[in-house]
Amino acid sequence: MSDKKKSELQSELVGEMSSARVGVFGGTFNPLHLGHLACVRTVRSRLNLDRIHVIPAAQNPRKPRTEGPSDQERLEMCRIGFEGEGEHVVVDDREIRRGGLSYTATTLESFMHEVAPENLYLIIGMDQFDDFDRWHRIDRILELANVVVVSRPGHVLPVSLVDFPEGLREHLDDFDRGFGQFRSGRTLEFVRMPDVDVSASELRKRLRTGRSVEKYMTIEVEEYIKSKGLYGPIGPRIGDGESFARFCAEALFAKKGLQVRAYDLRELTSPSEYALIASGTSTRHTVALAEAVQKAVKDEFNVFPQSVEGVSEGRWVLLDYGIMIVHIFYDFVRQEYRLEELWREGRDLGVKDSVLEAAKGSRA
């Protein structure tokens, strides 16, 4: 260990503020991919940081929980993937140890006694910057760390303040040529890095369908995923598709879902073997219906969806369980898409609300 490193560690142990320049890079890392590695390497060398803490979230408050590896397995992927970076990258389990929703403000507060705010750098991708003003306790975040935003394919770096999320503009004193100053005294910097066109969600799909991932992750991480059997299909845990569709339909009926229909689509070329469709009376009801299905499936099968889309708007929420996709619409949006017409050739399972049927039976 170098003398510099030793003295830093010593001062941290006795509670002194180190003068090291430290980056904080959080994420789900589900799985870790080359985009993450490129971010860390580019920012470290461009900003001359002494080290970057890679911090896997226990639960990202802005992303729904999806099916995938355990917290420890995500940590291990990070350890394996960043091994070659030596002491410059610390894979840090503080959010996982803390558990619950992983708020960045709380994580930055936990660095307060180790690193002075002017030496702390929060690193995020450009996709995260688009709604950065809506992050929990954004004022506090902007007090505790400088912000570094890295380019990402599909997201344009802002040229002027007009391109900023609205709620962030009021926090800025000045912005010019990719460099800004927050009123809190912290800085904002945009870093362009070579495009690495990959996302964890796309990789999860590739892994589940057995497509090649070698262009997008290191061989060591890929080997770890294979050795642990991560990202396998969830079908075997769910069992028979028709019973699963009927089970989810019950969860929708119980929450007053309207026009609940289930289809067997195995005779059609369709991304899933079964489909479930229902309507809610409002965007809130639509989201509540989706939550009810997720909870029922979690309780019964201990399975989360592979992906969840549309919950922030609630017009059309989609839960992908691989073997079955659940579509929940805010009522009139369902008419626009006419999915049932596409599924005409499928078999309508004729699902019925069992509680209602039982009540009818007892009245007869």
- Give me the residues that bind ligand ATP (CB under 6 A), please: 27-29, 35-36, 39, 124-125, 127-128, 150, 152, 196, 198-201
In sequence order, which residues have a C-beta less than 8 Å from that of residue 302 and are 6 or more positions away? 237
**Residue in this structure with the two tokens 């003398």, named with its chain if needed:** 3
Query: What is the Cα–Cα distance from 262 to 120, expressed in whole angstroms?
Result: 52
HSE at residue 311, side-chain half, CA atoms within 13 A, is 18
Q: Nearest distance from residue 118's CB to ligand ATP, in Å?
A: 22
Strands 51-56 and 187-191, bridge-based pairing? unpaired
Q: Nearest distance from residue 218's CB to ligand ATP, in Å?
A: 14
Q: What's the burial of 294, exposed, middle or buried (CB within 10 Å: 0-12/13-18/19+)? A: buried
Closer residue to ligand ATP, CB minimum distance, 131 or 240: 131
Closer residue to ligand ATP, CB minimum distance, 151 or 283: 151
- Compute the Cα dihedral for 61, 67, 68, 69 and give only its sign: positive
3-state secondary structure of 171: coil
In sequence order, which residues have a C-beta less than 8 Å from that of residue 96 and are 6 or more positions away? 56, 57, 58, 71, 72, 75
Closer residue to ligand ATP, CB minimum distance, 63 or 347: 63
Q: Nearest distance from residue 85's CB to ligand ATP, in Å?
A: 15
Q: Nearest distance from residue 204's CB to ligand ATP, in Å?
A: 7
Strands 22-27 and 307-309, bridge-based pairing? unpaired
Closer residue to ligand ATP, CB minimum distance, 28 or 306: 28
Q: Nearest distance from residue 134's CB to ligand ATP, in Å?
A: 15
| One-letter identity of residue 246 | R
Tokens of 189: 């910097």
Q: Nearest distance from residue 64's CB to ligand ATP, in Å?
A: 10
Q: Nearest distance from residue 8's CB to ligand ATP, in Å?
A: 26
Closer residue to ligand ATP, CB minimum distance, 147 or 238: 147
Closer residue to ligand ATP, CB minimum distance, 44 or 152: 152
Angle between helix axes 219-228 and 71-81 (nearest 10 degrees) is 150
Q: Nearest distance from residue 119's CB to ligand ATP, in Å?
A: 20
Tokens of 66: 């999806």
In sequence order, which residues have a C-beta less than 8 Å from that of residue 157 and are 6 or more positions away? 126, 149, 151, 178, 190, 192
| One-letter identity of residue 131 | D
Phi and psi torsions of 247, nearest 5°: -60, -45
Closer residue to ligand ATP, CB minimum distance, 127 or 309: 127
Closer residue to ligand ATP, CB minimum distance, 188 or 278: 188
In sequence order, which residues have a C-beta less than 8 Å from that of residue 312 and are 6 or more positions away? none
